[in-house]
């Protein structure tokens, strides 16, 4: 049976680590006598320079060997009351914020509903077609589409040509009954 002692250097390092771990465990659990809290120096006060009185500070309760109860300290701990915010400490969800209530609903103005404006007609009046004495026909542009129409025609299955004048055309959107005048655009 081999114990792994073939490499003596590794065995020595392992032994040292075991001893250090054992020392640390003993120090951690046994505590040791660490009195790092030094006793405070006695305070002196002079009253008119004649007599000096030495006031002792109370000893730490953990180091005191007096087994009698200190009713003054118990009374001070009884007088403590918890003044929380009402939050449930057993949940991680914050309470909802308080919603301020209106002071008087009669004084608030009532909202007035206004319907949204109809969408603008996206046609452009580009020019006239045909002879001067004949019926007036116009060119209308929508994006890259060109429409040729006269009064009373419906363009793009939505817009009705109501009236044609020399500088503008009146178009009605048959879906929204919105009427708009389109000026003659140059170019």
Domains and CATH numbers, the chain: 124-183 (2.30.30)
Lowest mean pLDDT of 27-36, 51-60, 68-77, 89-98, name the range.
51-60
Q: Within the chain, where are the H helices?
A: 8-30, 71-78
110-137 tens-digit pLDDT: 788 888 888 888 888 888 887 777 778 8
Cα separation, 116 vs 176, whole angstroms: 11
Mean pLDDT of 18-45: 69
Cα separation, 45 vs 150, whole angstroms: 113
Please list, in sequence order, all residues whose beta carbon lies within 8 angstroms of the beta carbon of residue 126, skipping any fewer than 6 positions away.
138, 139, 140, 141, 146, 185
Whether residue 175 is predicted with pLDDT greater than 50 in this model: the reply is yes
Cα separation, 186 vs 174, whole angstroms: 27
Q: pLDDT value at position 173? A: 93
Beta bridge mates, 161: 171
For the beta carbon of residue 170, count every other beta carbon within 10 angstroms.
Answer: 15
* Three-class DSSP category at 117: coil
Percent of the chain topping pLDDT 90: 22
Q: pLDDT value at position 99? A: 84
Quote the tokens at residue 86. 């009402």
Mean pLDDT of 170-175: 92
3-14 tens-digit pLDDT: 666 788 888 999
Q: Within 63-169, where are the H helices?
A: 71-78
Whether residue 143 is predicted with pLDDT greater than 80 in this model: the reply is yes
38-80 tens-digit pLDDT: 444 444 444 444 445 445 555 555 556 777 888 888 888 888 8
Categorize the per-residue pLDDT at 34 as very low, low, confident or very high, splitting at 50, 70 and 90: low
Q: Name the residue with higher pLDDT: 142 or 96.
A: 142
């Amino acid at each position: 049976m081999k114990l792994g002692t073939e490499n003596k250097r590794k065995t020595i390092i392992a032994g040292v680590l075991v001893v250090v771990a054992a020392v640390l465990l003993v120090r951690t659990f046994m505590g040791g006598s660490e009195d790092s809290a030094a006793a405070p120096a006695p305070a002196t006060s002079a009253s008119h320079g004649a007599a000096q009185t030495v006031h002792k500070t109370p000893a730490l309760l953990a180091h005191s060997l007096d087994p009698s109860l200190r009713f003054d300290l118990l009374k001070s701990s009884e007088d403590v009351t918890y003044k929380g915010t009402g939050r449930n400490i057993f949940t991680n969800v914050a309470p909802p914020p308080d919603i301020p209530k209106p002071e008087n609903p009669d004084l608030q103005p009532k909202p007035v509903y206004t319907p949204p404006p109809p969408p603008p007609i996206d046609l452009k009046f580009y020019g006239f077609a045909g002879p001067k004495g004949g019926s007036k026909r116009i060119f209308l542009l929508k994006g890259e589409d060109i429409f040729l129409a006269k009064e009373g025609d419906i363009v793009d299955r939505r817009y009705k040509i109501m009236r044609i004048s020399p500088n503008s055309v009146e178009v009605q959107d048959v879906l929204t009954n919105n009427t708009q005048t389109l000026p003659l655009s140059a170019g």
